[in-house]
């Protein structure tokens, strides 16, 4: 069984950053417009989950579009473009930070960035967009013990269900794409039916769906993740390398936290 390709964007527009995850609104609009013109169909989460779970073969030219982290600019620069083209998307929210600033991340921008708030999320859900969990605090689950990983998965799912209803409790995207057999089991136990990983996922396991991130250099009409050619393969390798670099981000973040804590400590 093979699942349709899955793209993963992070930020669309907003303040420029030192990192690699911001795609400009112009590039994003051009990419989506080109895909729509070429006959691509953006699958809803339930359509995608049905294909991932069973023997249903994917329709040709179908893809799944996802956004990680739930930045506020999506409602301004991404969702309206998609709605105009008849596309839908699924956004994975860091539930402790919905409506707040991205204090969970290394600061790549001059000022902290804002996340979507629950009202905006509910409005776009009513327009056919779907939301899932990206854990409670963007924890790297593979580095967490069972209790911590359970809490991240469970607490964020409860928040999604309470705010958005049952459809929002189906899917989880593992922060940094970091997942292993233990985390897949804990995610299933927490009640998720589908889990999205990074480029090294496995299309045969609904809890380990592979995704290709779209980074700043992926600026052609058709993102690398949807290309069957050599450039597509190269793009997936570049995405893999960039994701490995995100390990550095986690360490930096941990170092930053302890540096902040120390002066006020005992
Ligand atoms: Zn993320």
- CA–centroid distance, residue 138 to ligand 1 (Å): 6
CA of 30 relative to ligand 1 center, distance in Å: 24
Average pLDDT over residues 35-61: 89
Q: How many angstroms separate the alpha carbon of residue 266 from the centre of ligand 1? A: 33
Quick one: DSSP state of residue 156? Answer: H
Nearest-angstrom CA–CA distance, 207 and 185: 9
What is the CA(15)–ligand 1 centre distance, in A?
A: 17
Token code pair at residue 121: 């999320």
Give me the pLDDT at residue 231, please: 66
pLDDT of residue 265: 36
Phi-psi category of residue 29: left, alpha or beta, with phi > 0 → left and psi -120 to 50 → alpha: alpha
Q: Which range is most confident: 99-103, 106-110, 129-133? A: 129-133
Q: Is residue 168 classed as helix, strand or coil in its secondary structure? A: helix
- Say if residue 39's pLDDT is above 80: yes
CATH of 6-261, one of 3.40.30.10, 3.40.47.10, 1.10.10.60, 3.20.20.370: 3.20.20.370
Using the mean position of ligand 1's atoms as its centre, give its distance from the Cα of residue 21 in Å.
Answer: 10
For residue 93, report the distance from its CA to the centre of ligand 1, in Å: 9
Residue 146 Cα, ligand 1 centroid: separation in angstroms?
Answer: 20
Per-residue pLDDT band at 262 (split at 50, 70, 90) = very low
Domain limits of the chain? 6-261
Question: Is it the case that residue 150 has pLDDT exceeding 90?
Answer: yes
**Residue 166 binned pLDDT confidence (cut-offs 50, 70, 90):** very high
Distance 159 CA to ligand 1 centre (A): 17
Rg for the chain, CA atoms, rounded: 17
pLDDT tier, 137 (very low <50, low <70, confident <90, very high otherwise)? very high
CA of 88 to the centre of ligand 1 (A): 20
55 CA to middle of ligand 1, Å? 30
pLDDT digits (tens, 9 = 90+) for 218-241: 778 888 888 777 667 767 777 777
pLDDT computed for residue 261 by the predictor: 41
How many whole angstroms from 103 Cα to the centroid of ligand 1?
Answer: 13
- Average pLDDT of the residues in 163-181: 96
The segment with the largest mean pLDDT, out of 60-69, 82-91, 195-204, is 82-91
CA–centroid distance, 62 to ligand 1, in Å, is 24
Tell me the backbone φ, ψ of residue 3, rounded to 5 degrees.
Answer: -95, 155
Cα separations in angstroms, 203 against 1, 48, 92, 200, 248: 7, 12, 19, 10, 27
| pLDDT at 20 (0 to 100) | 80
Model pLDDT, residue 263: 39
- pTM, to two decimals: 0.88
What is the four-CA torsion angle of 23, 27, 29, 30, rounded to 10 degrees? -150
Q: Average model confidence (pLDDT) for the chain?
A: 87
Q: Average the pLDDT over 242-266 and give the result.
A: 50
Rounded to an integer, what distance in angstroms lies between the CA atom of residue 256 and that of residue 108?
13
CA–centroid distance, residue 68 to ligand 1 (Å): 5
**Ligand 1 geometric centre to CA of 10 (Å):** 7
């Amino acid at each position: 069984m093979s699942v349709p390709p899955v793209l993963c964007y992070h930020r669309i527009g907003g303040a420029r950053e030192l990192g690699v995850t911001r795609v400009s609104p112009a590039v994003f609009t051009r990419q989506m417009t080109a895909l729509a013109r070429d006959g691509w169909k953006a699958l809803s989460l339930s359509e995608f989950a049905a294909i991932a779970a069973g023997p249903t073969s994917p329709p040709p030219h179908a893809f799944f579009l996802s956004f990680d982290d739930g930045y506020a600019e999506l409602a301004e620069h991404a969702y309206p473009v998609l709605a105009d083209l008849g596309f839908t998307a699924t956004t994975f929210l860091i539930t402790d930070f919905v409506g707040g600033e991205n204090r969970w991340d290394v600061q790549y921008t001059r000022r902290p960035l804002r996340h979507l708030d629950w009202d905006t999320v509910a409005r776009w859900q009513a327009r056919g967009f779907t939301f899932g969990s990206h854990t409670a605090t963007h924890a790297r689950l593979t580095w967490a013990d069972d209790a911590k990983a359970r809490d991240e998965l469970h607490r964020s799912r409860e928040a999604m269900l309470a705010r958005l209803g049952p459809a929002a409790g189906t899917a989880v995207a593992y922060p940094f794409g970091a997942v292993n057999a233990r985390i897949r089991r804990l995610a299933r136990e927490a009640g998720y039916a589908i889990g999205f990983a990074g480029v090294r996922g496995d299309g045969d396991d609904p809890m380990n769906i592979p995704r290709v991130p779209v980074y700043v250099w992926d600026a052609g009409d058709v993102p690398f993740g949807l290309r069957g050619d050599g450039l597509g393969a190269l793009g997936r390798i570049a995405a893999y390398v960039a994701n490995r670099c995100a390990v550095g981000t986690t360490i930096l973040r941990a170092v930053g936290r302890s540096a902040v804590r120390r002066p006020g400590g005992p």
